[in-house]
Structure 1
Amino acid sequence: MLSWAALPFALSGCISLSPKPPAQLLTLTSSARIPVGGTQNSASAATIVIQNPLAAASLSGVRVPVQMGETAIAYVPKAQWVEPPSRLFQRMLAETVAARTGRVVLSNRQFNADPGAALQGELKSFGIDAGTKEAVVAYDGALTRKDPSVIEKRRFEARVPVAAIDALGSSAALNQAANQVAGEVADWVGK
């Protein structure tokens, strides 16, 4: 017979307050990379800070959303990002902009020391469209170049077919779509 003191330990193997994590976590990788050992210098290159994009609640977590018609959202089973997509996409944007434009991408703290351009935005879509079987990445960018009173806005969207709506198929297609959008944003910033 178990004592009252030992009961919580005996039950701890039976009760789980959180779901079992997936076998692997998903991430994004930029197809444009800064060379290892390369030096960037704000004295000889323009600077920019890239803010973490705003995102709807369906994109603020770590699950991969699937748009099921106009008004319903499900999630890809057993698929989980390593961190919210907006943070992953911000890092991809920073790497892509730096690699493709030569601009020095600064953090928020560094930006105060060397005000240059600023890119803010909203991640409108970052998931799977079940109806078209496509990965969809949509980003609304707001760019301030030199004059802080002048803001340029532009919408970017990429769609990539998904063979199967599962963790690996969805993440590969989303990575490809995110790289396409990041490349288009870099070209816009580099003008």
Structure 2
Amino acid sequence: MIRRIRTPLLALLGAATLSACFSLGGKPPPFLLTLDPDAAPATGTARTAADAATLTILIPTAPQKLRTTRIPVQQDDASIAYVQDAQWVEAPQRLFQRLVSETVAARTSRVVLDEGQYLTAPGEQLAGQLMEFGVDARSNEALVVYQAMLVSAGGKTVTQRRFETREPIGGKVEAKPVGEALTRAANRVALDVAAWLGE
């Protein structure tokens, strides 16, 4: 009888110990953040371009600290934390690519394609790296750094340009003010990219 009771008791103790070590699911954030473009193409506007005259905007690469839906906070040169309860609705690289595409389409006369849309030649391609997309705790600012690379149709020439913008958070490093500051900074970078591409 004692042996029969001991076995389920040991199993229960083991399960309790495991549940204390592993979490089966974190607490979801109260809301998800996204990037809203300040400029967007007018509804119903039609544009036509030959294959070589189109512009395909690629999803930028990013360092490991940005390959997450969380928002990094650079504490100093060697340490990174993340904003509590702040989470993007999808990867920031994809959000930024979509924001740049919308802004370039609105502010230039180019026919802008997503990398999954072109059927033949992609024309010019805008690639690059999203180097910073988070908070600099030392200055309490949102920081966006984008290293753009424009590849001509056929890949004969490559032009690089670095874009950097800072926006004050204006309060505590919390989800809502940080998301708003990053949206402002990302829009400023997107406008600068559009101005460069429209030259």
**2:151 pairs with 1:144:** yes
Q: Does 1:174 align with 2:179?
A: no
Aligned counterparts, 1:5-24, within 5 A: 16-24=23-31
Matching residue of 2:36: 29
Q: Secondary structure at the match of 2:104?
A: helix
Which deviates more, 105-114 or 55-64? 105-114
Amino acid at match of 1:126: F
Q: 1:122 aligns with which of 125, 129, 147?
A: 129
After the TM superposition, list the runs of 4 or more consecutive aligned residues in structure 1 that deviate by more than 4 angstroms.
none
| AA partner of residue 182 (structure 2) | L
User: Residue 142 of structure 2 contacts residue 182 of structure 2 at CA under 8 Å; is this kept in 1?
Assistant: yes
How far apart are residue 179 of structure 1 and its match? Answer: 0.3
TM-score (norm 1): 0.88
Over aligned residue pairs, what C-alpha RMSD do you find?
2.1
User: What are the within-5 Å matches in structure 2 for residues 1-191 of structure 1?
Assistant: 16-43=23-50, 46-146=53-153, 148-163=155-170, 164-191=172-199
Please give the alpha-carbon distance, in whole angstroms, between the structure 1 residues aligned to 2:189 and 2:114: 21
The number of residues matched between the two structures is 181
Aligned equivalents of 2:116, 2:70: Cα separation in 1 = 30
Larger deviation, residues 177-186 vs 43-52: 43-52
CA distance in 1, matches of 2:43, 2:121: 24
* Alpha-carbon displacement from aligned partner over 1:111-152 (angstroms, at most 9, x marks no partner): 352432100000000000001000000000000134512100
TM-score by length of 2: 0.84
Gaps of 5+ in 2: 1-7
Q: Percent identity?
A: 46
Gaps in structure 1 of 5+ consecutive residues: none
Determine if contact 1:136/1:159 at 8 Å carries over to the other structure.
yes
Kept after mapping to 2: 8 A contact 1:45/1:104: no
> Structure 1 153/68 Cα, relative in aligned 2: closer, same or farther at 3 Å?
same
Which shows bigger deviation, 36-45 or 93-102? 36-45
